[in-house]
Structure formats: structure tokens, C-alpha cells
């Protein structure tokens, strides 16, 4: 598949480089366009359902947090790429921001501009509920992406990942594998994301409950901070605390780069590891099968592509043609798949570069 | 290791040195020779050494892995990156300034050094890029502070923000994976059983110590930090020196950038988040005056080791994050209390 965002990406990149003035020349020299391609965002194929044939022209507004992380970066790129596949969609993305007040202002701007539908990944679901409600009251269909609003009055359809299910998938994979290997009393470590986030708590709950069905429990558990640096630091220390491990679940593949670096630096390989989210690098690692990483459980940013597709259908008043319903459903929870060496080839096109 | 705090070894022949010392002394009343020994050597950092010993005892009691060579080397490796940054910050703070930008300048340098383009030119270019970004950021900080007459807090805060933005722009907010085997190999290399990163850390501390305590640049740093007006009247080029100080800090960021790129195998805009606060905290609990003119590099490094040891102990004991944060805050206060007490008793001995 050709990469429809490549040209745009480069244009935005160069504009930015000019903006920094003196740094421009140097920046251009260190452009990040990968030599051999493959660095572009994963674009989910347009859903067969709902009719890809053109409908009424619609304008879809989009607002998401600013990325400090490959997953969020992929969210924005996927949404953009998906919108470009529809000739009947005008896509209006506002500047990403991590500031709640700015995101509220940005969404209000989109409402005032009279968009037909909004796709919103809120920085904080609770704090953006009011503006979601405001949009719905103004007759703008809101597709709430991933972090859920407090009130169903604030969105037309919610689509997001299954954090609990991620934990369950990881727990089942580890439980099955250890049981097959006949390991009694295994030491299972967990490297979580940010403990204060509900999503991290959900993942951990799913993991612990799935492991419990095998009679296993989580051993050492530490939170990193969703960054490669945090993953490296926490893992380096954790490996010292546990001279022997049987399995490790790391919640996040971005953070996992640091986790794997620490494992390599410590020269440990007596255990196997499961990742989380499904980044392309993690998948390549699984495919190569040369290290401890044997699986990852998905939390795919392709949900942004689906959200844009849903926004279009809702705005055009259409349903999803494979379903019996006349309308798009109110809520869609993605399933968390377990990617292993056996099925990695199917998932690699959906992987995001962290 | 003995350490001077005010640049008081005279090289009487040089006129300038005498003037510099005069300026430096104004920052701190002359102490008796006996108290100076205690004040300047191990005595001064006794409090921090005591805290480290306490932490080690806790480690031995609560875990059976704390005192293993592998664990101690892990602590030292974790300390090495923030340690290198802290060396630069110590120079700036002794010189009467502050540098809030170190964490993000390091992140920017790591991103620049690991772009596809620079990686394809090989490790030497990557290292040069990192150092150039660090030095460049230091130069901009220094110029704005010295000639723009903006307070260091604001200038370096602005640098923090824009370095973060530029790092995000260049990396596309992704982790840029290090494919170059030489850079990636640094963190896996050991000499005589000790990780190469620890040697780099030791070398930076060594050079920093010599520069701070045995060179004109060091003496001038104390003098300018103690009393910039007196230093100016004594004939020092305060502006040029200020630029130099921020470039020292920037250079440390460049070195740290290569180290973190190797340790995490990535260049990323998320590197070094809040490192500026960790580094400043380490400098302060290391006994350096936030107002400048007085401080020691060894104290700062002990401060870094206290932080890294605490983190290590927490993970070894599998404490939850919120417990870690509460305990960390408490331990910082205790460390400063013990440190202050040790300093008082050493200066009245």
C-alpha cells in the first residue's frame, strides 16, 4: 500500500524546520524519512461494511492529545490517513495538545465551524465530558475515541480498546505457556505503565485475574512511565531483585524498547516476555524470535481509523452494512489479540512504529 | 579526596588570582585552617555518606541482593547519566545561575544524534551531533543570560520548552531506535567487569573536579557566583564566563545524550523528563548554595548516588509507586537535615 501521509508528513516537517530559523539547514540534513520506507503509519483497510461508495460530503473534526509516544502519534496519523481515503470527507484536525483547557477550546472551535461529526480522543474523559455534551446538544455527532466520557449523553458512539482484555490476553498466554512447560510456582513479573491511570489499573486487574485461573499470582510488579527511559531504569533494578524469573508482562511496547535494552544489558534470558499494544518493532522482534519477547497483546491505534470511518457513516446517516442494524452501534470495544510468531505476519501491517 | 570550596589556593605570582580570591572571600568569611580541613574534605560530605550508609544498611536488612556486585554496578550505571548532567548543573549553580534545561537538551541531543541521517554517517557523527546540540543550547542559554540580561530561570525554562518541542518535531514523537552497533554497544561494554558508562561518568566527574578546583576557570566560577559585582570590579569578564558555564552544562547534556541513547537503545523526546529537578535536588543536598559561590562536585555526586540508591531499594523491595513517592520526599528532607547538621558541626569543630 502506498503511504498517503508521506508527502504531507514531509511538508509539515519542513515547514516546522523553517520555523526554527538557524536550525533549519541542520534539521533538513537530519531528516527522518527512513531510507527504505516502512516508517509510515499503519493504515487500517477501509471497512467493507457501511459502504465505501461515496455519500453526502461531510466534514469531520478531530482532536487528540499531543503525542509523546508512538501510540498516540499513530492515532493522529491513522485518523488523517483514513480520512484521505474517503473522497466525500473533509478532515479538520485541530492542533494536538496535552492541555485540557486548550483541548476544550479547540473542540468548541470545531463546533462553531459547523463540522458534521467530531472524533475526540480526550486527554481526560471526565474533564471533556461537558464539551462533548455541548457538541451533541448542538447536533454534532461525537465519536468518543478510547478514553471514555462520563456520560453517554456526551457521545453518539464510543470506540476504544479493552484494557482489561489486554491483561487477560497476556495472563492467558503466560498461564498456558507455563502450565504446558510444567512450571510449578512460577515467578511472574509485571512492568506496568503509569499506576495513577485507570487504564493501567484495568490492565493489571485483567492480568492478575487471568493468572489466578491457572493458580498463578503476580510476583514483582513495578510501574515505569510509558517511556523507554523509564522501562530501562525500572527493569534494570527489577532484574537485580529477581535472580530468576519465569515470565514478564510489559504493558507497553514503547516502554518495551527500554525494557528489552535492560534485559540485554543484564544478559538475562531464562524467562519469556509478553509486550503490550502491538508496535511494529515488537512484532519484528517476535518474528525474528531471537530474544525473550515471544508475544504482544494488541491495543491497536487502528481504532482511530475506525473512528473516522464511523464518524463518516454516522454523519451520513448510514449503518454498517454487515450488521442488521440501520444505525452505527453506540459502543464498540476492540478485542485484544495475542500476537505470536505464528500469526505475526497478519498483524505486522497494523503495527505502529514506536 | 580533598575538595576546596572557595578557590583559596593562591598562585601568588598572578595578580589576577589575588583579585579573584579577594572577590571569592567576600562570599565567605575566612575560616580557621582546622575547620577548613573538615569543611573542605570528607567532613563536609559526612552527612551524605551517613545517609548512603544508612540506605545500605536498609538494603542489606530488607533484601539479600542489595550488596551484590551486579546490583551495585546497576546502581552506578543508573547514576551515571543523571550524574553527568549534575556535573554541569553544579558548575552553573556555583557560578550563581540555574539550568532547568538539561533534561530536555539531553533529549534533543539524543534525538538529533539518532536520526536516520546521522546514524547512516556512523558513530563519530552521532557523537559530534550530540555534543554540538548540547554546546549550541548552552551557548544560546549563555548569550541570552549574559547579553540579553534575562534571568537564568526564564531563559533555561524557555530552552526546556523549545528543546522539547524541537525534539518532538524531529523525532515525529517516536522513539528513534539506535541501529548503529557502536553506540548501541556502549551500554553493553564492560572493562574489568565495570560498565563503560560508569567509566564515562567517572571521567566527567574527574575532569569536572580538576576544572572546578585546579584551574582559573574554576576559581573564577566561585568568584562570580559569590559576588558577580566584586568579580567584575576585580577585572573578570563575567559575561564571557557566564556563557562558558552554560556551555559546560550543555556539553554534559551532549555526553549524557549518547549515554542514554546507548542505555535505552533509543533517542527520544521523552528522555530526561524531570531530570533537571533531580539534578538540582542532588546539587542542593550535596551542599551547594543555590545562591552560588560555594559548593562541591563530590557532594553533588553523593546526592545523585543517594537518589539512585533509593530508587534501587524501592524496586528491590517491590514497593508500589505511591509509597515510593512518599518515601522519596521524606528521605530528601532527612538527607538535607543530616547534611545541614554535619556541616554545622564540622564548621564549629
**pLDDT digits over B50-63, tens only?**
889 999 999 999 98
B166, B174, B317 member nearest A354 (Cβ): B174
**What pLDDT, on the 0 to 100 scale, is given for residue B347?**
56
Average pLDDT, chain A: 86
**What pLDDT, on the 0 to 100 scale, is given for residue A20?**
40
Whether A179 and A293 map to the same domain: the answer is: yes
Q: Which of B262, B241, B281 is nearest to B23 (CA)?
A: B241
Whether A283 and A194 map to the same domain: the answer is: yes
Whether A207 and A259 map to the same domain: the answer is: yes
Average pLDDT, chain B: 85
Helix axes B69-94, A253-266, angle to 10 degrees: 120
Instruction: Provide the domain limits for residue A263.
Output: 163-297
**What pLDDT, on the 0 to 100 scale, is given for residue A48?**
42
| C-alpha span between A51 and A34 (Å, rounded) | 35
pLDDT band of residue A88 (cuts 50, 70, 90) is very high
The CATH number assigned to the domain holding A311 equals 3.40.50.2300
Instruction: For residue B2, count other CB atoms closer than 10 A to its CB.
Output: 9
Q: Span A196-214, mean pLDDT?
A: 94
Report if residue A327 sits inside a domain: no
B65, B171, B316 member nearest A32 (Cβ): B171
- The highest-confidence range among A193-197, B14-18, B252-256, B275-279, by mean pLDDT, is B252-256
Q: B332: Cβ–Cβ under 8 A, 6 or more apart, which residues?
A: B281, B285
B68, B173, B264 member nearest A261 (Cβ): B264
- Cell numbers of B285, please? 543536598
Residues 91-110 of B with CB under 8 A from A: none
Please report residues of A whose CB lies closer than 8 A to that of B322. Answer: 195-196
First-to-last C-alpha distance (Å) of chain A: 20
Q: A2: Cβ–Cβ under 8 A, 6 or more apart, which residues?
A: none
Whether A137 and A190 map to the same domain: the answer is: no
**pLDDT above 90: percentage of residues in chain A:** 71
Contact A243, A266 (CB under 8 A): no
Residues 219-258 of B with CB under 8 A from A: none
Does B328 contact chain A (CB < 8 Å)?
A: no
Whether A151 and A273 map to the same domain: the answer is: no
CB contact under 8 A, A241 and B269: no
Bigger pLDDT: B159 vs B285: B159
Report if residue A309 sits inside a domain: yes
**What pLDDT, on the 0 to 100 scale, is given for residue A188?**
97
Mutate to test the interface with B, among A37, A73, A194, A228 (most CBs of B within 10 A): A228
Please report residues of A whose CB lies closer than 8 A to that of B120. Answer: 35
Q: Is A340 a residue whose pLDDT tops 70?
A: yes
Report if residue A195 sits inside a domain: yes
Contact A64, A121 (CB under 8 A): yes
Q: Which of B269, B294, B300 is nearest to B347 (CA)?
A: B294
Q: Is B344 a residue whose pLDDT tops 80?
A: no
Whether A199 and A260 map to the same domain: the answer is: yes
Please report residues of B whose CB lies closer than 8 A to that of A29. Answer: 117
Q: Which of A245, A227, A233 is nearest to B312 (CA)?
A: A233
CB contact under 8 A, B117 and A232: no
Bigger pLDDT: B349 vs A220: A220
Report if residue A349 sits inside a domain: no
Find the farthest-apart pair of alpha carbons in chain A and give their distance in angstroms, rounded.
62
Contact B231, B20 (CB under 8 A): yes
Please report residues of B whose CB lies closer than 8 A to that of A23. Answer: 166
Whether A225 and A272 map to the same domain: the answer is: yes
Backbone phi, psi, residue A58, to 5°? -135, 155
Q: Span A44-60, mean pLDDT?
A: 68
Contact A117, A56 (CB under 8 A): no
Distance of CA B334 to the CA centre of its chain: 21
**pLDDT above 90: percentage of residues in chain B:** 60
Does B120 contact chain A (CB < 8 Å)?
A: yes
Q: Which of B12, B49, B5 is nearest to B209 (CA)?
A: B5
**pLDDT above 70: percentage of residues in chain A:** 85
Report if residue A189 sits inside a domain: yes
Q: Is A345 a residue whose pLDDT tops 90?
A: yes
CB contact under 8 A, B270 and A67: no
Whether A277 and A293 map to the same domain: the answer is: yes
Q: What sign does the dihedral B225-B228-B231-B237 (CA atoms) show? A: positive
Contact B269, B107 (CB under 8 A): yes
Whether A183 and A205 map to the same domain: the answer is: yes
Whether A185 and A197 map to the same domain: the answer is: yes
Does B312 contact chain A (CB < 8 Å)?
A: yes
Contact A232, A191 (CB under 8 A): no
**What pLDDT, on the 0 to 100 scale, is given for residue A271?**
97
Which runs of consecutive H residues, i.e. helices, occur in A190-343?
198-212, 228-241, 253-266, 280-288, 302-315
Nearest-by-CA chain B residue for A261: B264
| C-alpha span between A195 and B164 (Å, rounded) | 24
**pLDDT above 70: percentage of residues in chain B:** 85
Q: B261: Cβ–Cβ under 8 A, 6 or more apart, which residues?
A: B110, B113, B114, B126, B130, B178, B183, B267
pLDDT band of residue B339 (cuts 50, 70, 90) is low
Q: Is B35 a residue whose pLDDT tops 70?
A: no
CB contact under 8 A, A228 and B169: no
φ/ψ bin of B148: left (φ > 0), alpha (ψ from -120 to 50), beta (otherwise): alpha
**Weakest mean pLDDT among A40-54, A113-127, B181-195:** A40-54
- In chain A, how many domains are there? 2
Nearest-by-CA chain A residue for B166: A20
Residues 163-182 of B with CB under 8 A from A: 166, 168-177
Q: Is A47 a residue whose pLDDT tops 50?
A: no
CB contact under 8 A, A261 and B263: yes
| C-alpha span between B240 and B95 (Å, rounded) | 12
Q: Three-state SS for A273?
A: strand
Q: What is the DSSP string of A183-218?
A: -SS--EEEEES-TTSHHHHHHHHHHHHHHHTTT--E
A323's enclosing H/E stretch is none
**Weakest mean pLDDT among A265-279, B42-56, B264-278:** B42-56
**What pLDDT, on the 0 to 100 scale, is given for residue B17?**
57
Nearest-by-CA chain A residue for B265: A261
| C-alpha span between A54 and A86 (Å, rounded) | 7
C-alpha distances out from residue B27 to A217, B30, B95, Å:
60, 9, 12
Contact A88, A119 (CB under 8 A): no
Nearest-by-CA chain A residue for B186: A265
Q: Which of A113, A112, A114, A50 is nearest to A86 (CA)?
A: A50
A29, A222, A229 member nearest B264 (Cβ): A229
Q: Three-state SS for A274?
A: strand
**What pLDDT, on the 0 to 100 scale, is given for residue B204?**
97
Distance of CA B284 to the CA centre of its chain: 11
Mutate to test the interface with B, among A240, A242, A266, A352 (most CBs of B within 10 A): A240
Q: Is B325 a residue whose pLDDT tops 50?
A: yes
Q: Summarize pLDDT for A180-201 with one digit per residue, the tens.
A: 999 999 999 999 999 888 889 9
Report if residue A32 sits inside a domain: no
Does B345 contact chain A (CB < 8 Å)?
A: no
Whether A142 and A195 map to the same domain: the answer is: no
* Closest chain B C-alpha to A29 CA, distance in angstroms: 7
Contact B224, B231 (CB under 8 A): yes
Find the farthest-apart pair of alpha carbons in chain B and give their distance in angstroms, rounded.
60
B265, B270, B271 member nearest A261 (Cβ): B265
Q: Span A257-284, mean pLDDT?
A: 95
CB contact under 8 A, B316 and A241: yes
Contact B349, B34 (CB under 8 A): yes
* Closest chain A C-alpha to B243 CA, distance in angstroms: 19
pLDDT band of residue B64 (cuts 50, 70, 90) is confident
**Using CB atoms within 10 A of its CB, is residue A330 exposed (0-12), middle (13-18) or buried (19+)?**
exposed
Q: Is A103 a residue whose pLDDT tops 80?
A: yes
Please report residues of B whose CB lies closer than 8 A to that of A229. Answer: 260, 264, 268, 270-273
Q: Is A261 a residue whose pLDDT tops 70?
A: yes
**What pLDDT, on the 0 to 100 scale, is given for residue B29?**
46
Report if residue A141 sits inside a domain: yes
Class of domain B63-341: mainly alpha
- Domain residue extents for chain B: 63-341
Whether A185 and A225 map to the same domain: the answer is: yes
First-to-last C-alpha distance (Å) of chain B: 20
Q: Summarize pLDDT for B186-200 with one digit per residue, the tens.
A: 999 999 999 999 999
| C-alpha span between B255 and B200 (Å, rounded) | 9
Q: Which of B76, B79, B63 is nearest to B318 (CA)?
A: B63
**What pLDDT, on the 0 to 100 scale, is given for residue A163?**
95
Q: Three-state SS for A249?
A: strand
Please report residues of A whose CB lies closer than 8 A to that of B112. Answer: 30
Amino acid at each position: 500500500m502506498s503511504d498517503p501521509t508521506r508527502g504531507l508528513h514531509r511538508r509539515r516537517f519542513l515547514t516546522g524546520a523553517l520555523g526554527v530559523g538557524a536550525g533549519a539547514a541542520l534539521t533538513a540534513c537530519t531528516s527522518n524519512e527512513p531510507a527504505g520506507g516502512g516508517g509510515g503509519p499503519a493504515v487500517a483497510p477501509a471497512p467493507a461494511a457501511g459502504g465505501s461508495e461515496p455519500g453526502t460530503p461531510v466534514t469531520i473534526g478531530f482532536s487528540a492529545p499531543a503525542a509523546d509516544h508512538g501510540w498516540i502519534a499513530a492515532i493522529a496519523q491513522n485518523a488523517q490517513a483514513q480520512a484521505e481515503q474517503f473522497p466525500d470527507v473533509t478532515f479538520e484536525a485541530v492542533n494536538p495538545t496535552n492541555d485540557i483547557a486548550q483541548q476544550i477550546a479547540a473542540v468548541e472551535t470545531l463546533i462553531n465551524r459547523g463540522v458534521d461529526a467530531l472524533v475526540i480522543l480526550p486527554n481526560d474523559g471526565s474533564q471533556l465530558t461537558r464539551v462533548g455534551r455541548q457538541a451533541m446538544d448542538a447536533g454534532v455527532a461525537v465519536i468518543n475515541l478510547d478514553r471514555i466520557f462520563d456520560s453517554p449523553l456526551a457521545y453518539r458512539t464510543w470506540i476504544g480498546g479493552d484494557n482489561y482484555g489486554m491483561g487477560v490476553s497476556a495472563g492467558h498466554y503466560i498461564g498456558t505457556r507455563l502450565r504446558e512447560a510444567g512450571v510449578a510456582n512460577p515467578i511472574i513479573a509485571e512492568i506496568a505503565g503509569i499506576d495513577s491511570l485507570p487504564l493501567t489499573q484495568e490492565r493489571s486487574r485483567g492480568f492478575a485475574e487471568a493468572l489466578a485461573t491457572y493458580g498463578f499470582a503476580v510476583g514483582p510488579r513495578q510501574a515505569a512511565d510509558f517511556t523507554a527511559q523509564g522501562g530501562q531504569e525500572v527493569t534494570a533494578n527489577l532484574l537485580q531483585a529477581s535472580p530468576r524469573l519465569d515470565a514478564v508482562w510489559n504493558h507497553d511496547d514503547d516502554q518495551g524498547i527500554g525494557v528489552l535494552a535492560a534485559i540485554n544489558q543484564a544478559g538475562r534470558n531464562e524467562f519469556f516476555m509478553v509486550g503490550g499494544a502491538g508496535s511494529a518493532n515488537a512484532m519484528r522482534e517476535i518474528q525474528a524470535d531471537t530474544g525473550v519477547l515471544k508475544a504482544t497483546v494488541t491495543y491497536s491505534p487502528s481504532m482511530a481509523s475506525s473512528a473516522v470511518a464511523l464518524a463518516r457513516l454516522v454523519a451520513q446517516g448510514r449503518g454498517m452494512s454487515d450488521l442488521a442494524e440501520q444505525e452505527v452501534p453506540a459502543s464498540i470495544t476492540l478485542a485484544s489479540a495475542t500476537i505470536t510468531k505464528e500469526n505475526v505476519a497478519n498483524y505486522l501491517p497494523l503495527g505502529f512504529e514506536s | 579526596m580533598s575538595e576546596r570550596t572557595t578557590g583559596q589556593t593562591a598562585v601568588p605570582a598572578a595578580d589576577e588570582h589575588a583579585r579573584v580570591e579577594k572577590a571569592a572571600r567576600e562570599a565567605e568569611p575566612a575560616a580557621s585552617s582546622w575547620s577548613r580541613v573538615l569543611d573542605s574534605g570528607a567532613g563536609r560530605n559526612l552527612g551524605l555518606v551517613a545517609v548512603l550508609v544508612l540506605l545500605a544498611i536498609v538494603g542489606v536488612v530488607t533484601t539479600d541482593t542489595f550488596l551484590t556486585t551486579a546490583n551495585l554496578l546497576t546502581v552506578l550505571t543508573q547514576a551515571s547519566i543523571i550524574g553527568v548532567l549534575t556535573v554541569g548543573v553544579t558548575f552553573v549553580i556555583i557560578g550563581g545561575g540555574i539550568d532547568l534545561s538539561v533534561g530536555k537538551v539531553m533529549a534533543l541531543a539524543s534525538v538529533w544524534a539518532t536520526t536516520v541521517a546521522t546514524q547512516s554517517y556512523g558513530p563519530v557523527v552521532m557523537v559530534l551531533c550530540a555534543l554540538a546540540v548540547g554546546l549550541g543550547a548552552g551557548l544560546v542559554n549563555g548569550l541570552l543570560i549574559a547579553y540579553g540580561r534575562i534571568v537564568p530561570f526564564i531563559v533555561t525554562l524557555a530552552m526546556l520548552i523549545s528543546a522539547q518541542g524541537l525534539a518532538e518535531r524531529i523525532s515525529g514523537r517516536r522513539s528513534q531506535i539506535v541501529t548503529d552497533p557502536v553506540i548501541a554497544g556502549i551500554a553493553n561494554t564492560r572493562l574489568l567487569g565495570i560498565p563503560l558508562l560508569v567509566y564515562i561518568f567517572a571521567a566527567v566527574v574527574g575532569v569536572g573536579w580538576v576544572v572546578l578546583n585546579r584551574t582559573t576557570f574554576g576559581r573564577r566560577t566561585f568568584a562570580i557566583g559569590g559576588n558577580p559585582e566584586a568579580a567584575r570590579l576585580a577585572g573578570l569578564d563575567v559575561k564571557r564566563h557566564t556563557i562558558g558555564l552554560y556551555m559546560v552544562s550543555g556539553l554534559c547534556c551532549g555526553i549524557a545524550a549518547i549515554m542514554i541513547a546507548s542505555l535505552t537503545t533509543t533517542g527520544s523526546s521523552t528522555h530526561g523528563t524531570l531530570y533537571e529537578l533531580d539534578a538540582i535536588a542532588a546539587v542542593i543536598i550535596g551542599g551547594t548554595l543555590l545562591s552560588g559561590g560555594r559548593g562541591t562536585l563530590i557532594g553533588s555526586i553523593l546526592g545523585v548516588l543517594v537518589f539512585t540508591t533509593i530508587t534501587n531499594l524501592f524496586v528491590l523491595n517491590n514497593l508500589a509507586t505511591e509509597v515510593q513517592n512518599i518515601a522519596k520526599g521524606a528521605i530528601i528532607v532527612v538527607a538535607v537535615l543530616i547534611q545541614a547538621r554535619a556541616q554545622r558541626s564540622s564548621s564549629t569543630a
